[in-house]
Amino acid sequence: MNAHLDDLVEKLSQLSVLDMAKLKKALEDKWGVKAAVASVAAPVAVAAAPVSESTEFKIILEAPIPDDKKIGVIKAVREVTGFGLKEAKDLVEGAPKEIKASSPKAEAEEISKKLQAAGAKVTLKGL
């Protein structure tokens, strides 16, 4: 390899995985292409693809919910979903259940905090 390519390889080797994911996105945007797993032309982009951070999350209410916390959890579920009393109660008693199918990270964390403060166990799954 020539010195220019050696220098480029060295610089890319020093990037963190998160920076590689950002580089992949920037190159895709600039070139108007998507990095493919079998791509020979973009090994850095391929390596970074599986570890890119999720921006959307599924919010799941986990079971069991302690009996002394159910009323507080039902109130919190009503607040974050807009459900009526019966729907919220059914959701809480049927846990584990999905609270929201897709939510931005900040909103998902906020909902999770509210439900946990009420006594619920919540799982966030990246989409």
Instruction: Summarize pLDDT for 57-87 with one digit per residue, the tens.
Output: 899 999 888 899 999 999 999 999 899 999 9
pLDDT at 38 over 50: no
As a whole number, the mean pLDDT across the chain is 81
Q: Name residue 68's amino acid.
A: D
What does the pLDDT read at residue 74? 93
**Check whether domain 56-126 has CATH 3.90.1150.170, yes or no:** no
Alpha carbon of residue 45 to chain centroid: 20
Domain ranges of the chain: 3-51, 56-126
Helix (H, G, I), strand (E, B) or coil at 114: helix
Query: For 97-126, what is the mean pLDDT?
Result: 90
Q: Are the C-beta atoms of 82 and 23 separated by less than 8 Å?
A: no
What does the pLDDT read at residue 52? 61
Q: E-strand spans in 16-120? A: 56-62, 97-104
